[in-house]
Amino acid sequence: MSRLTGKTAVVTGGGTGIGLGAAKRFIDEGAFVYIFGRRQAALDAAVAQLGPSSRAVAGSVTDLADLDRLYAAVKAERGGIDILFANAGTGTLAPLGEITPEQYAETFDANVKGTVFTVQKALPLMSAGGSIILTGSTTGEMGTPAFSIYSASKAAVRNLARSWAMDLRGTGIRVNVLSPGPTRTELALEVVGEDAMGALGAATPLGRMGDPSETGAVAAFLASSDSSFMTGGEVFVDGGLAQV
């Protein structure tokens, strides 16, 4: 039997990149997966890849009514949630001196507010044995030129997990952070650029960018009972970038 057989997972930002990589792996391990994202076309393409063990709900993590629709759909069909991968987020390059209020608000709304309410609204559908995974970043651990607002938002996500591990004490629900390094995703290449991402990958001890499937494999570990004695922690899938 696969590690996630019979489990129900929700993946935000699941239409592309790391979210899609995790959704694929969850399904390969036996889970039924709901993906959530803003772009209907990307969701439709993702479901076509994922097959009958998936559903898509369109919406934004910053819209609480959209989150309510997502969880109502899960409750109606599956009853509850075993795995929540709060993965949706965004960022924009802007050095100090060029940061705008709009950039700050967009980044913190998606990465911090979105994470908070994605998790909080899921809790009534979760029970003992549940696993919450938050997407962090190497940027939350190290200085990154022109990326301070994104980096600060990911540092906030890291601390949410620490505090929530204490808030969830006694529930049997675990929460951990999965922090990717330079990973070949559509969003990363759009925001940072192909050349800069390639240089980041080359700077890792492994000398390359990661693939979303590699991050998905670690997400499946955190989702499963194999990580049953882990909560409040952070796991890096970064080719060693932030480790040496």
Q: What is the pLDDT of residues 144-156, one digit of tens each?
A: 899 999 999 999 9
Q: Would you say residue 15 lies in a domain?
A: yes
pLDDT in tens, 218-233: 999 999 999 999 999 9
CB burial of residue 241 (10 Å; 0-12, 13-18, 19+)? buried
Residue 172 has pLDDT above 70, yes or no: yes
Q: Would you say residue 243 lies in a domain?
A: no
Distance of CA 28 to the CA centre of its chain: 18
Q: Is 121 helix (H, G, I), strand (E, B) or coil?
A: helix
Q: Is 208 helix (H, G, I), strand (E, B) or coil?
A: coil
The pTM is what?
A: 0.95
Residue 187 has pLDDT above 80, yes or no: no
Q: Would you say residue 1 lies in a domain?
A: no
Structural domain that includes position 40: 8-237
The structural domain count of the chain equals 1
Q: Would you say residue 128 lies in a domain?
A: yes
Q: Would you say residue 2 lies in a domain?
A: no
- Tokens representing residue 106 in the block: 């967009």
pLDDT in tens, 194-223: 888 888 899 999 999 999 999 999 999 999
- DSSP state, 203? H
Residue 95 contacts residue 114 (beta carbons within 8 Å): no
Catalytic residue among 24, 34, 71, 150: 150
Nearest to 69 by CA among 79, 58, 55, 81: 58
pLDDT in tens, 40-64: 999 999 999 999 999 999 999 999 9
Q: Would you say residue 242 lies in a domain?
A: no
Residue 1 has pLDDT above 70, yes or no: no
Structural element, H or E, at residue 36 = strand 32-37
Structural element, H or E, at residue 163 = helix 148-167
**CA gap 95, 121 in Å, rounded:** 34
Confidence (pLDDT) at 196:
81
Q: Is 154 a catalytic residue?
A: yes
Residue 169 has pLDDT above 90, yes or no: yes
pLDDT in tens, 64-110: 999 999 999 999 999 999 999 999 889 999 999 999 999 999 999 99
Q: Is 150 a catalytic residue?
A: yes
For residue 56, the domain's CATH number is 3.40.50.720
Residue 119 has pLDDT above 90, yes or no: yes
